[in-house]
Amino acid sequence: MTCVVNCKEENLTRPGVWWNQILQVENADTQRIVYVRYACMHCEDPPCVKACPNEAIYKRPDGIVLVDKSKCAGAMECVEACPYGVIVMTPDKEYFAGQEALQKTELSAHRVHPPGKASMCTLCFHRIDEGLQPICVAGCPSRAMVFGDLDDPESPIQEKRERSEPLQASAGSKPKVTYVFPSGLK
Ligand code: SF4
C-alpha cells in the first residue's frame, strides 16, 4: 500500500478520494489473492474525453489524460463513460477546517481540488515534467511498477511492455497502463 499512501500525500486529494488503489482479486482456481494496482489507465482512445461536453478532459501530447478544472461543470458524463470507474467527483469535505483556503494560497496547483469537479490520477505530470517518475513508481519498495516512454525503443519499459496486457481490453480504449500477469494467476 506504499503507492496508495504516497499518492495521497503527494497529491493531497480530499477525504474519500483515492486516485491510486490496490485491489485484492481472489482467484478461486489457484486459491491465491492477486494484488492489482488500479488507477486511471491514460487510455490512447479515452472515452472520458469524448464524453465531456465542455472539453474539460484532454490528452496531452505525451498521452497523459488530465482534467481542466476550470472547464469542468461536474455533469459526470465522464464518470459514466470511463470503462474503469476511476473518475471521482471531488467532495465538499476537508481533512481540516480551512484546508481549501490553504491549498489555494500555499500549495502547488496539482494539490488543489475544487469540490464538484471530476478528478483522477494525473500520472504525477508535475513530477514527469521535472524529469521524475510518478510517485507510485518511485516509492514502491518491491519495484512492482515500471514507468517509461513508450515511443522510446531503448526505454527499459519496452521489455515489460511486450509481456504485458491491458485490463478489460474489450472496452476498446487502448489503455497505456498494462499489466504483466504471473502465469496461472490471471
Ligand atoms: Fe479516461 Fe477512464 Fe481511460 Fe482514465 S481510464 S483515460 S479516466 S477512460
Q: What is the pTM assigned to this prediction?
A: 0.92
Q: Do residues 166 and 175 lie in contact, with contact meaning Cβ atoms separated by under 8 Å? A: yes
Q: Which of 78, 41, 40 is nearest to 56 (CA)?
A: 78
- Predicted local distance difference test score (pLDDT) of residue 185: 57
Which pLDDT score is estimated for 94?
86
Q: How much is the pLDDT for 52?
A: 97
Span from the CA of 3 to the centroid of ligand 1 (angstroms): 19
Q: What is the pLDDT of residue 44?
A: 97
Question: Which of 72, 80, 87, 88 has most ligand 1 atoms within 8 Å of CB, for mutation?
Answer: 87
Determine the pLDDT at residue 181: 84
**Distance separating alpha carbons of residues 122 and 167, to the nearest angstrom:** 19
Q: How far does the centroid of ligand 1 lie from the alpha carbon of residue 147, in Å?
A: 18
- Tell me which residue has cell 474489450: 170
Q: Which residue numbers in the chain have pLDDT < 70?
A: 183-186
DSSP structural state of residue 39: S
Pocket test for ligand 1, best of 43, 45, 89 (most atoms within 8 A of CB): 43
